[in-house]
Structure 1
Amino acid sequence: MSIFNNFPLIAALSSIILAQFVKVPLYLITSKSLNIRLGFSTGGMPSSHSAAVSSLTTAIGISEGLASSLFAISVVVSAITMYDAAGIRRHAGMHASFLNRLAKTIPSMSQQEPNRMELKELLGHRPIEVFAGAVFGIIISILLKFVFFA
């Protein structure tokens, strides 16, 4: 079997790429501002991490069956990944935002390090972004199955 015939792998990778691509026009529509960097960064709508794991899980469920061990493993890994995206990574981004603002208000910090780089704030996702990524990934897997892997 060729790697190009591996439906779960193709579905997951396609979902990551498409979710990252979709972030740019969605941001343009909602904020009236073009930000191409969103296509290459973490965070934003939809969650590409959620899209990838839900797409992988869906493809495994279709290919191997819902009673398979592979499907069970994929469900658990997906749940952990999505919980992490909306929980720990989101809170790390909130902490980065607070620390960036704090560093700007303390004169001694900004004088000692004039070239200080700010911490990246867009790390995780709001729950709606995780949910949208999950739905996006499921749809991508179903479409790929019927169009290319039927």
Structure 2
Amino acid sequence: MDISYMVTPFLAWLVAGGLKFLVNSVRAGQWAFQLVGYGGMPSNHSAIVSSMTTLIAWREGIEHPAFGVALTLAFIVMLDANSLRGEMGKHAMMLNRLTADAAHGVLRERMGHSKTEIAAGVAVGGVVATIAYYLLVKQ
């Protein structure tokens, strides 16, 4: 296996996570270590799957079956990030309200992504994969 298939999604995760930390820190007006995790701009999950989809498109072409599999997986991950995890966040919010008087822990409410956050993740993944392709593969 070519190293680009291992390095590219890791780099996409690293870049998206770094950008998310910076965006959250600017919005909070302080270092936002407590906001690291699910949700936020850009979507790490979208960056990871789109980086692999883009790398496969560059290396194998969009007519290759691996591209179809990667694209399908990317859509599933992005739909999940927008809908299912968004609904989980709404449930957490309601449970937090119901248990506000009890001595329970607080559930994380920000779990899903907006369409803009997903699109930003796709952009990050596509850019990272394109750079990785030209640096690691097409020399």
TM-score normalised by structure 1 residue count: 0.85
Aligned-partner Cα distance in 2 for 1:77–1:54: 9
- How big is the shift at 1:148? 2.9
Give CA-to-partner distance per residue, 1:61-94, whole Å, 9 cap, x none: 1111110000000000100100000111011112
1:11 to 4, 8, 11: 8
Deviation at 1:33, TM superposition (A): 2.7
Q: 2:30 aligns with which of 28, 33, 44?
A: 33
Q: What TM-score, normalized to structure 2? A: 0.91
Contact 1:9 1:56 in 2 (8 A): no
Supply the distance in 2 between the matched residues of 1:83 and 1:26 (Cα, whole angstroms). Answer: 23
CA–CA separation in structure 2 for the residues paired with 1:140 and 1:82: 18
How many residues matched?
A: 138
Task: Confirm whether residue 93 of structure 1 aligns to residue 121 of structure 2.
Answer: no
Aligned-residue CA RMSD (Å): 1.4
Give the equivalent residue in structure 2 for 1:55: 51
Task: Give the percent of matched residue pairs that are identical in Structure 1 and Structure 2.
Answer: 30
Which of the two has higher C-alpha Rg? 1
Unaligned runs of 5+ in 2: none
Q: CA deviation at 1:31?
A: 2.9
Correspondence list, 1:77-116, <5 A: 77-104=73-100, 107=101, 110=102, 114=103, 116=104
Are the aligned partners of 2:15 and 2:124 in contact in 1 as well (CA < 8 Å)? no
Q: 1:131 aligns with which of 85, 109, 119?
A: 119
Contact 2:83/2:112 (<8 A) preserved:
yes
Q: Distance in 2 between matches of 1:53 and 1:38?
A: 22
Question: Which consecutive unaligned segments of at least 5 residues does structure 1 have?
Answer: none
Is the CA contact (8 Å cut-off) linking 2:4 and 2:136 kept in structure 1?
no
C-alpha separation between the residues in 1 aligned to 2:72 and 2:80? 12
CA contact (8 A) 1:47 1:132 kept: yes
Output the CA distance in 1 between the equivalents of 2:137 and 2:26: 33
